[in-house]
Amino acid sequence: MYYLDTNYPFEQFKMDIAVEPYVDKSMLIHKLNPLIKTRNRYVCITRPRRFGKTMNANMLGAYYTQGYDAYEYFKDLKIAQVESFKEHINKYHVIYIDFSRLPDPCHSFEEYISWIKKRLKSDLENAYGIISIENNPIQDAFLETNHKFIFIMDEWDSIFYKNFMKDKDKNAYLEFLKGLLKNQPYVELAYMTGVLPIAKYSSGSELNMFREYNFINDRTYEDYFGFDEKEVKELSKHFSKPSFEVLKKWYDGYYKSDGSSLFNPRSVSFALMDGICLNYWTETGPMNEIAEYIEHNTNAVREDIVKMVAGIPVEVELEGYSVSSLQLDSRDEILSAMVVFGFLSYHDGFLRIPNYELMEKFQNLLKRKSMGTVAEIVNNSKNVLDATIALDAQKVAQYIEEVDNREIPFLQYNDENSLSCVITLCYLHARNYYDITREDKSGKGYVDYLFIPKKKGYPAIVLELKFDKSAQEAINQIKKKNYVDRVKDYEEILYVGINYSTNTKDNKHHHCIIEKYK
């Protein structure tokens, strides 16, 4: 069998639970059981890549599919404590389709969909002796079986990324899903996953029977996709490293509806298995999508990216996902797409770069030629760091002054946040050698920038900004509030005070003072 009562999800589930770290998400089953054979039996859950969609689909297939005995594998999971556990386990015919799997070769949508239909018809013929009449819709064959089925469909939207897909192919695919599933009496439950929401492609009524749950609107299934803080703390107890604090820095930054933390589950799992935090996102999916989206409309979005790299949340109203095409043309479409793909997190009206793992990607993005003048500033940032370490305050001020003279609209100073964006770009190269935090607690207050060396040979740097005051005031504040406290054990520490003055006689607006900590 290809899709009908196949052992594929069962075998995958057995492997999933056999490997540490494993987080029990089996109560998802408890949420779905009451929907079987009801009007609410159509569920679509969309999440970014690597947020546990396929693992959960395998778990559901292992639990529902008849002909297997999965009891031993579920008995120690949370679902086994629920009254309905035994009522539904291995009691259903299941059609399990991973839509990301293609025939080889596959050069057209027709080859793709014909392959899927052929497999479905073959399964029904082998199981029920149904001989499908040529050109008859696939639903006729299902109706002829006089049986009912649970449909589990993973990566429903994966085919839309193929270069050969035209608008007519997308419409044909939607019509295929509609005919297979919508209002069909043989459908007992239809559970579907993907990255992009159905509304992205289905503007009409093709798939409107599905209740869709995405990163913004899901208060029902949010516990089952991604790891929450409690789960990561528990996992970290069973591994010597990385620590919970390091995992949080690297992979936290998403949110549940109540504002609580949500971690990238795949990255956490790999970090614990490898014993080190790395950028695992680069190994999954086209990270160039970030740049490609922004390059569709650089001017509208680059200001937002610079702000977020500087640690400044961007306020925007995303009621839902305004992603209407793969050619993203507006700011809202681009930002929405980046939330959909997990590149940004969105909560309470603010967008942020979620964590260190993705911050690395955005920092590299700012170096691309398509970012225009921003990239030129970033590519000069090595000189700014070198001048700082050399205690050449005049040179530092000169470099920052040159940025101001470029008259980039969104870098024109209105407040200290604008100055922070400039400082972020001017010191971006420093992130290769430092963990740089903004508005971090140290001593008796919050220091504007703290540069903590990643390796020996570099001085720690405490940097404070002022707007229409003086660089000396910045240095005095560093000393008075003991901002050095967080880095006091480093052999060499530099104090850097930078002020921007709106009114100067010599047209030099920036002033910098650099002192060595004694």
Same domain, 367 and 386: no
Read off the CATH number of the domain in which 176 is found.
3.40.50
Element (H, E) at 175: helix 167-181
Same domain, 406 and 275: no
Q: What is the mean pLDDT of residues 486-507?
A: 88
Q: What is the mean pLDDT of residues 249-270?
A: 93
Two tokens, residue 312 = 């400044």
Strands 445-453 and 460-467: antiparallel
Q: What is the mean pLDDT of residues 405-413?
A: 74
For residue 165, give the DSSP letter.
Answer: -
Q: What is the mean pLDDT of residues 341-353?
A: 89
Same domain, 304 and 433: no
pLDDT digits (tens, 9 = 90+) for 365-404: 888 887 888 889 999 999 999 999 999 999 999 999 988 8
Same domain, 70 and 202: yes
Position 411 scores a pLDDT of 73
Buried b (16+ CB within 10 A) or exposed e, 222-239: bbbbbbbbebbeebbeeb
Whether pLDDT at 485 is above 70:
yes
Position 154 scores a pLDDT of 97
Rg (CA), the chain: 27
Q: Is 275 left (phi over 0), alpha (psi -120 to 50) or beta?
A: left
Whether pLDDT at 209 is above 90:
yes
Whether pLDDT at 325 is above 60:
no
Q: What is the mean pLDDT of residues 343-362?
A: 90
Residue the block writes with tokens 């599919």: 65
pLDDT digits (tens, 9 = 90+) for 160-182: 888 899 989 998 999 999 999 99
Structural domain for 443, as ranges: 373-516
pTM of the shown model: 0.88
Alpha-carbon gap, residue 425 to 312, rounded angstroms: 13
Q: Across-strand partners of 315?
A: 350
- Give the confidence band of 506 by pLDDT, cuts at 50, 70, 90: low
Q: State the chain's mean pLDDT as an integer.
A: 89
Position 217 scores a pLDDT of 80
Q: Are 178 and 207 in contact (CB under 8 A)?
A: yes
Asked which of 253, 283, 313 is the last residue of a domain, the reply is 283
Query: What is the percent of the chain where pLDDT is above 90?
Result: 66
Asked which of 328, 344, 371 is the last residue of a domain, the reply is 371
Same domain, 186 and 261: no
Is residue 107, in this structure, part of any structural domain at all? yes
Whether pLDDT at 202 is above 70:
no
Whether pLDDT at 414 is above 80:
no
Whether pLDDT at 337 is above 60:
yes
Is residue 418, in this structure, part of any structural domain at all? yes
For residue 461, give the 3-state DSSP assignment: strand
Look at the chain and report how many structural domains it folds into: 4
Same domain, 190 and 66: yes
Read off the CATH number of the domain in which 490 is found.
3.40.1350
Asked which of 353, 371, 389 is the last residue of a domain, the reply is 371
Position 289 scores a pLDDT of 62
Position 296 scores a pLDDT of 64
Give the up-direction half-sphere exposure of residue 310: CA atoms within 13 A in the CB hemisphere.
23
- Where is pLDDT greater, at 416 or 308? 308
Whether pLDDT at 4 is above 60:
yes
Q: What is the mean pLDDT of residues 47-55?
A: 91
Within 8 A by CB and 6+ apart from 352, the residues are 253, 308, 313, 314, 344, 345, 346
- Where is pLDDT greater, at 19 or 186? 186
Q: Are 425 and 366 in contact (CB under 8 A)?
A: yes
Is residue 2, in this structure, part of any structural domain at all? no
Q: What is the mean pLDDT of residues 190-215?
A: 82
Same domain, 311 and 429: no
For every residue of 212-270, DSSP letters joined together read EE-TTT-SSSGGGSSEEHHHHHHHHTTSSSS-HHHHHHHH--EE-TTS-EEE-HHHHHH
Same domain, 213 and 245: no
Is residue 1, in this structure, part of any structural domain at all? no
Angle between helices 416-426 and 298-309 in degrees, nearest 10: 90
Position 1 scores a pLDDT of 87
- Where is pLDDT greater, at 343 or 407? 343
Same domain, 118 and 261: no
Is residue 3, in this structure, part of any structural domain at all? no
- Give the confidence band of 270 by pLDDT, cuts at 50, 70, 90: very high
Same domain, 274 and 125: no
* Phi and psi at residue 288, to the nearest 5°: -65, -10
- Give the confidence band of 322 by pLDDT, cuts at 50, 70, 90: very low
Position 45 scores a pLDDT of 95
Same domain, 351 and 384: no
Read off the CATH number of the domain in which 332 is found.
1.10.10
For residue 4, give the DSSP letter.
Answer: B
Position 214 scores a pLDDT of 86
Two tokens, residue 143 = 């109706």
Same domain, 435 and 382: yes
Is residue 92, in this structure, part of any structural domain at all? yes
Q: What is the mean pLDDT of residues 302-313?
A: 88
Q: Note the Cα 346 to chain centre separation in Å.
A: 10
Q: What is the mean pLDDT of residues 305-325?
A: 75
Query: What is the percent of the chain where pLDDT is above 70?
Result: 92
Order of strands, sheet of 460-467, starting from the edge strand that comes earlier in the sequence: 434-442, 445-453, 460-467, 493-500, 510-516
Q: What is the dihedral of CA 501, 503, 507, 512, to 10 degrees?
A: -20
Is residue 351, in this structure, part of any structural domain at all? yes
